[in-house]
Amino acid sequence: MLLSAPEATVFRPVDPKVSFPALEERILQFWKEQRIFEKSIEQRPEDNLFVFYEGPPTANARPGIHHVLSRVFKDLVPRYRTMRGYRVPRKGGWDTHGLPVELEIEKELGLKSKPEIEAYGIAAFNEKCKESVSRYVEEWTRLSERIAFWADYDHPYVTYDNGYIETCWWIFKQLWDAGLVYQDYRSTPHCPRCGTSLSDHEVALGYQDDVPDPSVFVKFRIPGDALADAGYRAAGPLALVAWTTTPWTLPGNVALAVKADAEYGVYELEGEAVILAEALAPKVLGGEPQPAARLRGEQLVGLAYEPLYRPELLGHPVMRFDDDGRLRPLAAGEATDGLRRVIAADYVSLEDGSGIVHIAPAFGGEDFEEGKHYRLLFAQPIDLRGIMAEGLPGAGKFAKQADRDVERDLEERGLLLKKGTIKHTYPFCWRCGTPLLYYAKPSWYLRTTALREQLLAGNERINWYPEHIKHGRFGNWLANNIDWAVSRERYWGTPLPFWRCEACGEAACIGSKAELIERAEDRAAAEALDDLHRPYVDAVTIRCAACGGTARRVPEVADAWFDSGAMPYAQWHFPFEHEAEFRRHFPADFICEAIDQTRGWFYTLHAEATLLKAAGAIPDGIAYKNVICLGHINDEKGNKMSKSRGNTVDPWTVIEKHGADATRWYMYAASPAGMPRRFSAGLVEEGLRRFLLTLWNTYSFFVSYANIDGFRPAGGRVEPAAEIDRWLLSELNALVAKVTAELEEYDPTDAARAIEAFVDDLSNWYVRRSRRRFWRGASEGDADKQSAYETLYAALVTLAKLLAPFTPFVAEELWQNLVRSVDPAAPESVHLAAWPEADASRIDDRLNAETQLIKRLCSLGRAARAKASIKVRQPVAEVVVKLRDAAEAAVVERNRHLVLEELNAKALRLIDDETEVVAYDVKPNLPVLGPKHGQAVGAIRQGLAALDPAEVAAAVRRGRGLAVAGIELEPGDILLQAQDREGYAAAQEAGYTVAVTTAITPELADEGLAREIVRRLQDLRREAGFELADRIRAWVAGDAEVERVVASHAAYISGETLAIELTAGEPPAGAVRAEEDLDGSRTVFGVQRVS
């Protein structure tokens, strides 16, 4: 090999032992200094926008690995779109309001309840909340930058800003005017500790399984002759049996529900009779109880029963639903006798309980609806803290503790038929863990149910990845939509802009600060308002438009999810400012969050857009067109990561060890975006080794040799000289097409895997098989060498571009060193470059398939060699190949040199019949034959043995059966075992046979030894730290055999090792030497650099 001396170093030398984290730090510095992110936006035309919305995180805790997951997916699409020529602004944002923030501060201040917060002072409390939400902003920004999540954090939107709040007010006003806001008593999930309702999505966060609760069957007495019409008279007491798991709600009981068309039975027990559903009687009473009488549910409807408790007689206020379904307080002294009655309800279950359901409208959703329908009483002798009222069992205790007092009380009064414990799923407060109580109280609602059709129609226009979310989880959620409970009885949030008149009760909605000033009783005070939060806004009263009285703001703040859903408008302070920006940036082309956001941000964005469109306030009814919905990230055992389990992964440790690119690559390549994934640092490392290092080594190889040869890319279209070059360019263009198509479909995973496969081909086939082309001197064919360089160069440069969205750092490194170094006119960064276009004329599917064939044959050849234990360094005389068809012969002929070189063989011969190299042994397939032919197997065995195995084998291989001992055998009845023929070692697969000759002639043995010597010398060169192109003197001292080969193969050995002098004998003192065992004899090797 003749390597020319380095002429000019074109490319910066590449360290094969690269530290990716250090490399990344350098590139971060470069991006920052050169403002690459800013330029990637500025350089793209303003009228070709691709809109991305950043879902705002709350920066009151450290970011975790799951945030890295969503950020790298969020980052990939904008980078790709930028390279496609779009301008993709990325405004960062912070979500700042809400209960989690308040709870954090409560904990810090040691506050335990709302009265304590109010005693501490709402202003001071909110100030603390405000400080806390930016506590980790720096940490978030630092991590985001480090993983190359490009976003504008210098101008983020912040949900606590007055402007943001004002836009939220504007939205409320639009909906208010459209009749989409209302206040209603509703049964809502209520956290007695936090003192507020929770929205459905919050409730969803806190379900716990296997929660033990009481299971009690309670007797509600009725008169003994109550069933006279049905023909039954009780001798003793008679009672309806109802079942509940919440005894604390029994003081609120105002009705019992039965299923009208179900069968009920009267069962006589010791001294009393009870009524319950026939279907459930065996379960409740045990055995096979026989009813003393039977009746249908409808016959029970209207029966008045004896109340267990009558809070109204204990001085507790009780209300009643009026004809309009509104609650009105009972008049003083108004009698409630006989108002507690049996009603009919469809949902009464005949699978659990007794078939009679206890109804307490104050505490249950369906109960509340029944209350409206039947104009029931409404008794709520438990306050918002969940404390039982005076005079009732468990008075002063928390509801769940009062359960036992209620049970005991009923037991003492003989009203408890049966008690036990069940385990079921029950909701707890997702932040503080307190059991939620369903509690009827007034809340503000957005009438989303009125727009169900629009919500669903809008969803049809959204592309979901993975697709099943669209009609699955998200679609079902929309189809089962209920009105959005949007108020929270809390402090740190967007104040609801509703004012209610103290005099007449009239409510008004204020849609802006200007409107507030306009209507304020004290305009100066309103104008001076520089913080729209509580408590300041609470101080502003307005004049009631209806009666001229004073209206005060309602005490609630908005659900923080409302803020996040307002982001498309509020980030611009629309419509007060930036109207044009809003219009240009709505709706988003792309958003990306994890699957939990189907009920969070995905929903609130969609709901608010739909509501605003219905109110006529915005141009389009969807807020986003494409959405990647990520699966959750679990620990390596598949368990959910959580602080309490202690199995969270700190992203920094992974990034500092393996780098951001490796982490990103893992996220994209390991599993599809929508699937839950198991994360471990080990998997990141695996991707690093398998992919990034392979790429890096190929890059390093190229730069080493290109510098030696002073290669400069010619520019323009590469004209490949060799078939393998044409193949690589074909695969490369196919890759470009594939990656582009996948990214258009928002599927980074298939794209990444395709790149990975290409890099493997590039390194382990193209470079391996082309290596010597890079070594050759100019005299041996400059055109071929140039073609190899151009081809490899083109592949690496294209890879840099394809990888830019995935692994932005290593892509930048390749770009800077391979492109910018030789072309100062090239874009300053790969992230400012144009996305590559696939050249369809380069894609040759047939060539790709043919290369697969050659690789397969080489693989078989290596297997054949291994079988014969002939190492690859030892040349063999001949490789013999049997192909499947004649067309393949031409392919092999064209690639003859590749196969010969790869398999280190002197000759290649194609044969038509593999029986030249293998013989088939024929055996009966006994496990198959046995069941089929039973005792005849013996005869078949003998008959088969008597036949010519070659003929039998030939028949079987053609898929034909044959008759043996008078029995027709099928091909599957006979087993063929190939045996190598004398002098050959063969391997077979799918109709191909590749064999090598096993006889090693003395000449071949000498060549093998020469190659062995070359390898030892090369090792020594490397150990000595010589440069690739250094010339050396070399010595080999061994036995006569070794020295003879050194002499006879001197030219070969010298050429390979760049030795200008090769001596058979001991190396001198100054040489680097090594003693090694060579074919059983001690041999001394020595090398010395020629200066």
Partner RNA sequence: GGGCCAUUAGCUCAGCUGGUUAGAGCGCAGUCCUGAUAAGACUGAGGUCUCUGGUUCGAGUCCAGAAUGGCCCA
Catalytic residue ranges: 56, 95, 561, 597, 601, 640, 643
Integer CA distances (angstroms), 657 to 14, 58, 807, in order:
20, 27, 16
CB 649 within 8 A of CB 68: no
Q: How many Å apart are CA 516 and CA 524, to the nearest integer? A: 11
Q: How many Å apart are CA 652 and CA 649, to the nearest integer? A: 9
Integer CA distances (angstroms), 571 to 48, 85, 89, 540, 1015, in order:
21, 25, 13, 26, 66
677 lines the binding site for RNA (CB under 7 A): yes
Q: Is omega for the bond preceding 587 within 30 degrees of 0, making it cis? A: yes
Question: Which residue intervals of 670-781 are DSSP H helices?
Answer: 681-687, 694-709, 723-744, 748-761, 768-775
CB 787 within 8 A of CB 722: yes
Contact residue for RNA among 1014, 1045, 1059, 1078 (CB under 7 A): 1014
Q: Is omega for the bond preceding 291 within 30 degrees of 0, making it cis? A: no
Q: Which is nearer to RNA, 144 or 1057 (CB)?
A: 1057
Q: Where are the beta strands (DSSP E) in 528-587?
A: 542-543, 550-553, 557-558
Residues contacting residue 645 through CB under 8 Å, at least 6 positions apart: 635, 639
CB of 719 to RNA, least distance (A): 24
Contact residue for RNA among 4, 9, 19, 1081 (CB under 7 A): 19
CB 948 within 8 A of CB 941: no
CB of 796 to RNA, least distance (A): 11
Q: Which is nearer to RNA, 466 or 805 (CB)?
A: 466
CB 169 within 8 A of CB 510: yes
CB of 674 to RNA, least distance (A): 7
252, β-bridge pairs = none
Contacting RNA within 46-85 (CB under 7 A): none
Q: Which is nearer to RNA, 54 or 902 (CB)?
A: 902
Say how many residues touch RNA, by CB under 7 A: 79
Q: What is 144-193 written as a DSSP string?
A: HHHTT---EEEEEEETTSHHHHHHHHHHHHHHHHTT-EEEEEEEEEEETT
Site string for RNA, 841-870 (x = CB under 7 A): ------------------x--xx--x--x-
Q: What is 438-490 written as a DSSP string?
A: EEEEEEEEE-GGGGHHHHHHHHHTSEEESTHHIIIIIHHHHHT---EE-EES-
Site string for RNA, 177-216 (x = CB under 7 A): -----------------------xx-xxx-x---------
Site string for RNA, 1020-1059 (x = CB under 7 A): -xx-x-xxx-x-x------------------------x--
Q: Which is nearer to RNA, 12 or 689 (CB)?
A: 689
CB of 639 to RNA, least distance (A): 8
Q: Which is nearer to RNA, 113 or 680 (CB)?
A: 680
CA 286 from centre of chain:
50
CB 1023 within 8 A of CB 1082: no
- Site stretch for RNA (CB under 7 A), options 84-92, 210-218, 301-309, 665-673: 665-673
Q: Which is nearer to RNA, 682 or 716 (CB)?
A: 682
Residues contacting residue 348 through CB under 8 Å, at least 6 positions apart: 257, 258, 259, 262, 297, 355, 356, 357
12 lines the binding site for RNA (CB under 7 A): no
Residues contacting residue 21 through CB under 8 Å, at least 6 positions apart: 655, 656, 657, 658, 659, 660
Q: Is omega for the bond preceding 307 within 30 degrees of 0, making it cis? A: no
- Site stretch for RNA (CB under 7 A), options 15-23, 113-121, 487-495, 797-805: 15-23
449 lines the binding site for RNA (CB under 7 A): no
CB of 965 to RNA, least distance (A): 26
User: What tokens does 482 get?
Assistant: 């209920």
Residue 332 phi, psi dihedral angles, 5° rounding: -55, 130
Residues contacting residue 331 through CB under 8 Å, at least 6 positions apart: none
- Site stretch for RNA (CB under 7 A), options 449-457, 497-505, 692-700, 816-824: 692-700
Contacting RNA within 359-378 (CB under 7 A): none
Contacting RNA within 868-897 (CB under 7 A): 869, 871-874, 884
Contact residue for RNA among 1018, 1041, 1048, 1055 (CB under 7 A): 1018
Contacting RNA within 206-265 (CB under 7 A): 207
470 lines the binding site for RNA (CB under 7 A): no
CB of 766 to RNA, least distance (A): 8
Burial class (CB in 10 A: 0-12, 13-18, 19+), 211: middle
Q: Which is nearer to RNA, 165 or 794 (CB)?
A: 794
1019 lines the binding site for RNA (CB under 7 A): yes
CB of 1015 to RNA, least distance (A): 5
632 lines the binding site for RNA (CB under 7 A): yes
Q: Which is nearer to RNA, 872 or 967 (CB)?
A: 872
CB of 678 to RNA, least distance (A): 5
CB of 595 to RNA, least distance (A): 5
Q: Which is nearer to RNA, 305 or 1026 (CB)?
A: 1026
Q: Which is nearer to RNA, 525 or 975 (CB)?
A: 975
Q: Which of 703, 701, 824 is nearest to 771 (CA)?
A: 701
CB 106 within 8 A of CB 490: no
Q: Which is nearer to RNA, 520 or 703 (CB)?
A: 703
Contacting RNA within 94-133 (CB under 7 A): none
Contact residue for RNA among 162, 626, 648, 697 (CB under 7 A): 697
Contacting RNA within 591-620 (CB under 7 A): 595-596, 598-599
**End-to-end C-alpha distance for the chain, whole angstroms:** 18
User: What tokens does 373 get?
Assistant: 């329908």
- Site stretch for RNA (CB under 7 A), options 387-395, 475-483, 585-593, 1078-1086: 475-483
645 lines the binding site for RNA (CB under 7 A): no
Q: How many Å apart are CA 1091 and CA 1081, to the nearest integer? A: 32
CB of 450 to RNA, least distance (A): 19
Q: Which is nearer to RNA, 86 or 1026 (CB)?
A: 1026
472 lines the binding site for RNA (CB under 7 A): yes
Q: How many Å apart are CA 251 and CA 416, to the nearest integer? A: 14
Contacting RNA within 709-738 (CB under 7 A): none
676 lines the binding site for RNA (CB under 7 A): yes
Contact residue for RNA among 9, 34, 764, 852 (CB under 7 A): 764
CB of 700 to RNA, least distance (A): 4
Contact residue for RNA among 767, 974, 985, 1004 (CB under 7 A): 767
Q: What is 90-129 written as a DSSP string?
A: -EEEE---SHHHHHHHHHHHT--SHHHHHHH-HHHHHHHH
Q: What is 331-360 written as a DSSP string?
A: PTT---TT--EEEE-TT--SSSTTSEEEE-
- Kindly list the strands in the beta sheet with 542-543, ordered across the sheet, starting from the edge strand earlier in the chain: 507-509, 498-501, 550-553, 542-543
CB of 313 to RNA, least distance (A): 33
Contacting RNA within 135-164 (CB under 7 A): none
CB 83 within 8 A of CB 162: no
- Site stretch for RNA (CB under 7 A), options 313-321, 399-407, 409-417, 1010-1018: 1010-1018
Q: Which is nearer to RNA, 519 or 865 (CB)?
A: 865
Contacting RNA within 938-997 (CB under 7 A): 987-991
Contacting RNA within 770-789 (CB under 7 A): 771
CB of 654 to RNA, least distance (A): 16
